[in-house]
Amino acid sequence: MADLTDHELARYEWQIDTPGFGPERQQLLKDATVLVSRVGGVGSVVAYELAAAGIGNLILAHGGNIKPSDLNRQLLMTHEALGTPRIESIEKRLKDLNPHINLSCVNANINSDNAEELVKQADVVVDCAPLFEERILMNKYVVKYNKILVEAAMYDMDAQVTTIVPGKTPCLNCLFPEIPPAWKRKFPVFGATSGTIACMGALEAIKCISNYGDTLAGKLLLCNFHDMEFTKVKIKRDPQCPVCKHIS
């Protein structure tokens, strides 16, 4: 992997100066590959923060074209690009911000045809999908290939984030062993809510990659943004979990 250039040292100077971080950890960010899917209300902000922080390689998966109703929260989409593929807008906005990182853009959501290949390429996956089917698929391959999965999710004014380390923490299937029957694709959301939990998820990814600080591995941060209440709870592995019970 290439060393940090003088430009990169200058570009990331203000975060390299964070006590205990330094250029060695910045190099780890440059060498890392992170998969973000989808790249909508949560994923747009995750991807933007990771690009800003200098994650060297981002894989971004999101299908479909931009609709007016995306624009209150999907911050990598623009008014001008309405009707065009979301992934083109995602790529352009991230390149405008940081042309020094590698982007691999996939014009599709996570599905059974692409999940394994995409997860395999990443060191860390940040799960920002609106459907449990997509989340459970990413979790399956995260466990299979021993990757790290940052789970960021929200609904209405509530949100949660945790970090899944296969064999050490519960996996997503431990928490949700079946597709929740009552979950609906459409839910109420302010962009500031999805964006806040996205920033927390991005920070988890940065910390996991750079071995910096304590993460939410084995803990679930519950956020109630309506009343600004935050609770950190311990979560348990399911000894019967068909996805992760065989690893320790």
User: In the bound complex, what is the minimum distance in angstroms from residue 129's beta carbon to Zn ion?
Assistant: 18
Q: Which does 97 bind (CB under 5 to 8 A by kind): Zn ion, another protein, none?
A: none
Residue 173 interface partner, choices another protein, Zn ion, none, CB cut-off 5-8 Å depending on type: Zn ion
Please give the structure tokens belonging to residue 217.
Answer: 């591995």
d(CA 159, CA 82): 28
Question: Helix or strand or coil: residue 127?
Answer: strand
Tokens matching residue 43? 């994923």
What's the token pair of residue 21?
């971080």
Q: Does 241 bind Zn ion (CB under 5 A)?
A: yes
Residue pair 34/44 in contact (Cβ under 8 Å)? The answer is no
Chain residues 215-244 in contact with another protein, contact rule CB under 8 A: 220, 222, 224, 226-227, 231-236, 238
Exactly one of 51, 58, 161, 244 binds Zn ion (CB under 5 A); that residue is: 244
Please report how close the Cβ of residue 107 comes to Zn ion at its closest, in angstroms: 31
66 binds, among another protein, Zn ion, none (CB under 5 to 8 A by kind): none
**Sign of CA pseudo-dihedral 101, 104, 108, 114:** negative
Of 11-19, 42-50, 172-180, 198-206, which part binds Zn ion (CB under 5 A)?
172-180
Shortest Cβ distance from residue 126 to another protein (Å)?
Answer: 13
Considering only residues 5, 72, 156, 213, which one is a binding residue for another protein as defined by CB under 8 A? Answer: 156
Residues 6+ apart with CB under 8 A from 152: 42, 46, 126, 127, 128, 159, 160, 161, 197, 198, 200, 201, 204
- Asked if 171 is part of the footprint of Zn ion (rule: CB under 5 A), the reply reads yes
CA angle 115, 110, 135 (to 5 degrees): 90
Q: What does the DSSP 8-state code read for residue 168?
A: T
Partner in contact with 178, chosen from Zn ion, another protein, none, beta carbon below 5 to 8 Å by kind: another protein
Nearest C-alpha neighbor of 58 from the set 24, 108, 10, 95: 95
Total number of residues binding another protein (CB under 8 A)?
A: 44
Out of 173, 194, 196, 215, the only residue in the binding site for Zn ion (CB under 5 A) is 173
Which residues are near another protein by CB under 8 A? 38, 40-43, 62, 70, 74, 128-132, 135, 153-156, 158-160, 175-178, 180-183, 187, 189, 194, 220, 222, 224, 226-227, 231-236, 238
